Amino acid sequence: MLTSKAALITGSTSGIGLAIAQALAANGCNIVLNGLGDPTAIEQTRSHMAREYGVSVFYHGADLSQSDEIEAMMAYAEDQLGGIDILVNNAGIQHVALTEDFPVEKWNAIIAINMNSNFHTTRLALPGMKRKNWGRIINIASAHGLVGSAQKSAYVTAKHGVVGFTKVTGLETAKTGITVNAICPGWVRTELVEKQIAARATADNISVEAAATSLLVEKQPSLQFVTPAALADTALFLCGSSADQITGTTISMDGGWTAQ
Ligand code: NAD
């Protein structure tokens, strides 16, 4: 159990981030949720999580492309929970296009949200973690933090950056009770991937299920999607004492994608 630890999970209004937030709450953490979405649905998620698990659950709607909004979110977490023990950098977006066609504003947004936000949350969380001599930073990178794919220049660049940042911050905290690691998922069937499945179904004039299978065939030898719940279990493991000596590294959960 992680009773009374304070956890902030970016991009936790859906998908992988929401599953990790639920798992941490179920294990006794007080939570700060973050992410975009319909305010009523977000409030339902927040209040349901608090009731279901008997923990405090807060929400901050910082747009992670803006460093001043990240600073406000971190100050809010400090005010509500006295700092952050577990930081999960999970928020992310995708855009698919050839490099010469890549919209500059999409490039900038992906680099800001998928990579730069990890720097800002981490730099602001580390002083408090160092004071307590305990902390966990879990960066949700990707198989694309380790290998490339055509038409994903911004995403692959950002995720490789996250893996590099994980190594450096793992080294910088190695003599403390803080660990920093990246989880590198392959395909997970969340909103982010449903958009790519739908685009493929339209482009190839095939059904959504056929498009989902074709994504797996192309990259993921297990031919199965990774589940948010399995990723949440790995995040929980990284928070436990058995993982004290795991730091500055990546854990692939990709059905064999990066073994090829
Ligand atoms: P998702 O679209 O379900 O969730 C993304 C979350 O990020 C949402 O809560 C969204 O509101 C939030 N978000 C987006 N832009 C934001 C912004 N500007 N400010 C604050 N929050 C913002 O997608 P997901 O698949 O759960 O993705 C979570 C993470 O996992 C991402 O970093 C993604 O790159 C990574 N990932 C996903 C897969 C996959 O196959 N789904 C594979 C590897 C890595």
**Residue 164: which CATH number?**
3.40.50.720
**Residues 153 and 34 reside in one and the same domain:** yes
pLDDT, mean over the chain: 97
Answer whether residue 135 is part of any domain: yes
**Residues 90 and 110 reside in one and the same domain:** yes
* CA–CA distance, 111 with 177 (Å, rounded to integer): 29
**Residues 110 and 216 reside in one and the same domain:** no
What is the pLDDT, as a whole number, of residue 83? 95
- For the chain, report the end-to-end CA distance as a whole number of angstroms: 37
Q: Mean pLDDT, to the nearest integer, of 152-173?
A: 99
Answer whether residue 152 is part of any domain: yes
**Residues 81 and 131 reside in one and the same domain:** yes
**Could you tell me the distance, in angstroms and rounded to a whole number, from the CA of residue 10 to the centre of ligand 1?**
9
pLDDT digits (tens, 9 = 90+) for 6-37: 999 999 999 999 999 999 999 999 999 999 99
Q: At 244, is the pLDDT very low, low, confident or very high (cuts 50, 70, 90)?
A: very high
Answer whether residue 175 is part of any domain: yes
**Residues 24 and 91 reside in one and the same domain:** yes
191 lines ligand 1 (CB under 6 A): yes
Q: Mean pLDDT, to the nearest integer, of 134-140?
A: 98
Percentage of the chain exceeding pLDDT 70 = 100
Atom 2 of ligand 1, residue of closest alpha carbon: 192
**Residues 83 and 193 reside in one and the same domain:** no
What is the pLDDT, as a whole number, of residue 1? 81
Answer whether residue 105 is part of any domain: yes
Q: Strands of 30-34's sheet, edge to edge? A: 57-60, 30-34, 6-9, 86-89, 135-140, 178-185, 249-253
Atom 23 of ligand 1, residue of closest alpha carbon: 192
Q: Mean pLDDT, to the nearest integer, of 97-125?
A: 98
Cα 22 to Cα 31, 67, 212, distances in angstroms: 9, 26, 26
**Residues 73 and 192 reside in one and the same domain:** no
Full residue range of the structural domain in which residue 36 is found: 6-186+227-252
What is the pLDDT, as a whole number, of residue 234? 98
Helices (H), 112-190: 117-132, 153-172
**Residues 196 and 236 reside in one and the same domain:** no
pLDDT digits (tens, 9 = 90+) for 193-233: 999 999 999 999 999 999 999 999 999 999 999 999 999 99
Catalytic sites, residue numbers: 155
- Specify the pTM: 0.98
Q: At 59, is the pLDDT very low, low, confident or very high (cuts 50, 70, 90)?
A: very high
